[in-house]
Amino acid sequence: MRKFKTESKKLLDLMINSIYTNREIFLRELISNASDAVDKLYFKSLTDKSIELSKDELAIQVSFDKDARTVTVSDSGIGMTKDELDRNLGTIAHSDSLAFKMENGEAQGDDVDIIGQFGVGFYSSFMVGKSVRVVSKAYGADEAWVWESDGVEGYSIEPAERAEHGTDVIITLKDNTDEDNYDTYLTEYGLKDLVKRYSNYVRYPIRMEVTKSRELPKPDDAGDDYVPQFENYTELDTVNSMIPIWKRRKSEVSQEEYDEFYKTDFHDFADPARTISVHAEGALSYDALLFVPSRAPFDLYSRDYQKGLALYSSNVLIMEKCEELLPDYFNFVRGVVDSQDLQLNISRETLQHNSQLRAIAKKIEKKITSDLEDMRDNDREGYEAFFEDFGRGLKYGIYASYGAQKDSLADLLLYYSAKQDKLVTLAEYVEAMPADQPAIYYAAGDSLERLGKMPIVKTVLGKGYDVLLCTQDVDEFCFTAMRDYGANEDGEGAKEIKNVASGDLDFATEDEKKEAEEATKENENLFKALKDALGDAVTKVEVSARLTDAPACITTEGPVTLEMERVLSKGPDG
Ligand code: ADP
Ligand code: MG
């Protein structure tokens, strides 16, 4: 039998040009490899006490040379021997890091967190580089080697010089073309931005030479008109913040630290209203840190708004906004989910299996719900402010799911009670219902004031029943989708939710109804004249048994009320 030969040139080409959607992730991949190399050395030092590592050895450095058009990622990690260079960088889809993880997974515990697994990340450097040089000296070895390739014709390995153990990956960037400009990778700002975006939480310091400015000392003979003088200088700075705040227990982090993290990472000026920290272990372990903003972002209800949580795996950013992690009605929640257990796809830009993600999303949804319930019960003022901004979305959640979400969302809703003159939950409404009250009543319109003056509202209140006054477009649609509220576990005992303006409100006694019918008959001619005068504006005119002190009211038959007609005729966006 013959062995398959890989057309590595074609394979590499395929790799480089079709796996990644975003070429800037090359830096993420190289830093991840550097972090793995440092991790491996650190792991070795845990078991071999003869290895003493200084803090500087457990670090990564990123630099660039504008003239030579190179970007370099250096680490003082475990390094590679000549054989390892050949095996690891000469074989596509070969990952020594994965093998390392398999061998030491048990032993490494929390101290080591290897990122690599697919054996392709390194080649992403050819998306931006026309050639790549890797100078490496393995820990404990005497000689260094340089691996070099233009990504097309294969590679060479030659002896090289390197003072200490570790690896430098030096990319010579491609020339700019009309479409592609690689110059952002040759600026301090451009590189720093990428480090912060993708590798901010890599556990080892990532250092960069950064330019700073300082004021020169004021000369002794400076006169009153002295203008302060500044000079630029460069300094090696740690660019990443390293410790993922979401991995720390809530008891170890101050609210100020959470607030700071939220404001910087999610670009808000105000502190969050709620901070939810989740640490799950077991079949699917993950950490999550979620925030409920204290007010709605300006574009929350626009089509451009993008929901989602940042998704990390082993401290490296996979997706900035993973939509699947949040249901639409919790689209306002911001935050981070980090899980080592996710099966990433080969580009580490998305996931292999969404079932894991769905499982996490479910748990997260529950956490958010219970946190909001907690706020509702223990910080009512805060909850009312929250509801003012985000309540509409919760109601849409029920409406858009045709009521399927009512079990989880109905208890988060607040409505204005005409009787109690304040916001109440549906549970509080039902709790306060007189024993003979048959249904939950609401009235929908555009202002509380006008709703309060509606004759039918007064009638219902007059019977000792409360009426929920609803002023949002979505209210009536939401209630129509809910139909009823308050069923027990067996699905019994639910109270129907009724619009006081719908024709079938049945408060009148049989006698009163008969009376009204007779009055209608007796005045047949009058009503016919009224109907003729009003024409198509009404379908019929009759005596009503539902009015108390008002002379007349307009009402509808069937499920669509006047208010809904008004909303519908405005179109979906109002
Ligand atoms: P992965 O990281 O998924 O294993 P890569 O293509 O990124 O795949 O890297 C392939 C292998 O090359 C790694 O498994 C590792 O053994 C080796 N390697 C890459 N970069 C370095 C480095 N900076 N130091 C030591 N070994 C490295
Ligand atoms: Mg890698």
- pLDDT tens for the chain, 574 residues long, are 666 655 667 777 777 777 888 899 999 999 999 999 999 998 888 888 888 888 778 999 999 999 999 999 999 999 999 999 999 998 877 888 888 888 886 666 666 778 888 888 999 999 999 999 999 999 999 999 999 999 877 899 999 999 999 999 999 999 999 999 999 999 999 999 999 999 999 989 999 999 999 999 999 888 889 999 999 999 999 999 888 899 988 898 999 999 989 998 898 889 999 999 999 998 889 999 999 999 998 888 888 899 999 999 888 888 889 999 999 999 999 999 999 888 777 777 777 768 889 999 999 999 999 999 999 999 999 999 999 999 999 999 999 888 788 888 999 999 999 999 999 999 999 999 999 999 999 999 889 999 988 888 988 998 899 999 999 989 999 999 999 998 888 888 899 999 988 766 666 667 777 887 888 888 888 888 888 888 888 887 877 766 666 677 777 766 666 667 776 776 544 4
Q: 514 C-alpha to center of ligand 1: Å?
A: 88
Q: 357 C-alpha to center of ligand 2: Å?
A: 23
User: Who surrounds ion ligand 2 at CB < 5 A?
Assistant: 32-33, 116, 121
Q: 127 C-alpha to center of ligand 1: Å?
A: 17
Residues 6+ apart with CB under 8 A from 572: none
Residues 6+ apart with CB under 8 A from 320: 308, 310
Q: Where are the alpha helices (DSSP H) in 91-215?
A: 96-108, 188-199
Q: 139 C-alpha to center of ligand 2: Å?
A: 19
* The ligand 1 atom nearest the CA atom of 40: 25
* The ligand 1 atom nearest the CA atom of 94: 10
Name the closest-CA residue to atom 2, ligand 1.
Answer: 116
Which residues have any ligand 1 atom within 6 Å of their CB? 29, 33-34, 37, 75, 77-78, 80, 88-89, 95-98, 116-122, 167
546-565 burial, b if ≥16 CB within 10 A, otherwise e? beeeeeeeebbeeeebbbbe
Q: Which ligand is nearest to the CA of 75?
A: 1
* The ligand 1 atom nearest the CA atom of 32: 2
Q: Which ligand is nearest to the CA of 12?
A: 1
Say how far apart CA 127 and CA 112 lie, in whole Å.
29
Among 329, 332, 325, CA closest to 358: 325
- The structure tokens listed for 171 are 């990319």
pTM over 0.90: no
Q: 80 C-alpha to center of ligand 2: Å?
A: 14
Q: 36 C-alpha to center of ligand 2: Å?
A: 8
Measured between its terminal Cα atoms, the distance across the chain in Å is 71
Q: At what angle do helices 473-482 and 380-400 cross, to 10 degrees?
A: 70
Q: At what angle do helices 524-534 and 510-522 cross, to 10 degrees?
A: 80
Name the closest-CA residue to atom 10, ligand 1.
Answer: 119
Name the closest-CA residue to atom 18, ligand 1.
Answer: 33
